[in-house]
Structure 1
Amino acid sequence: MKKKTRPPLLHTDPDNRPLQSLAATALQLRDAMSATNHSFSIDLDPVIELDGELLIRRTPVSDRIRRVVADPVVDTTVIQPATRWPEHLRSAIHRMKPWDPPQVHNAALDALIEDFARDIENLLGTIRFAAQVETRPHDQANIWADFVLTSRTHLARLALTVDD
């Protein structure tokens, strides 16, 4: 039986529906989280293609993280089981909400976060390893959270930042 493979992720591919859906949901999430003097940013970059699941089994956690996180890593929290990473994402985003009147209610924000997490898994595949990393970014972000997500086929960094 021939193994089914995904096409490579191309940011310029207009037919990449999972990527289009992820981008649209990211924009909705950014708009919902932004307010006067509160600029929210969400980036899934870099995304590195992998060759099978060997990276997850054989590579130490610190090496996996260094492949996608250039900033100095202060602390790493491995999310176990990996299927709980959307809960950690939701908590991180709620900690970043603007203080002035919210653009959306908590239930609507939770739905957007759930859609965003689902879109990431549609793009990368089922997340098999997840970690939240504490970094000291070089930019002027006031609040930040970084996640390293690994599926069978991709390794990625998800970065959330708030600038005032």
Structure 2
Amino acid sequence: MKKALIATACAAALGLSALHAKASTIVETAVQAGQFSTLVKAIEAAGLVDTLKGEGPFTVFAPSDEAFAKLPEDKLNALLADKEALTKVLTYHVVPGKVMSSDVQAGEVQTKAGQAITLRTEGGVQVNDSRVVNADITASNGVIHVIDSVLLPN
């Protein structure tokens, strides 16, 4: 009986410590996911790591590595080499607030780049011409929705 109580107390303590563990930020969550190595590399090159680890909340429409692979290699390399253009592209994927997929409403939404994206909800969530392929990956400072192509601002 005493051993069972001790085991229960230990299990409860472990459970509580897990609840109090700090949740991962957008950047940490992207690194841990394993499907955003190009995005993480771009965030680092643009100097946006601290911003996306910041308080937020942010909603990030995050292109997967497969989405980045759709860009011609020379265009991707040129983008990674141009910090100003890269920052504009990356911030075009970020909207203020934590918007879960069930809360998305069709219409235009301003991005951190200062340009609007168009959200559609028929047949699943779409952002401009891109589809959300995995939604609601939560982070301590927002949410990530995986998209199937890179959004390019005007």
TM superposition score normalised by structure 2:
0.32
For the pair shown, the structure with the greater C-alpha radius of gyration is 2
Higher share of residues assigned helix? 2
The TM-score with structure 1 as length reference comes to: 0.30
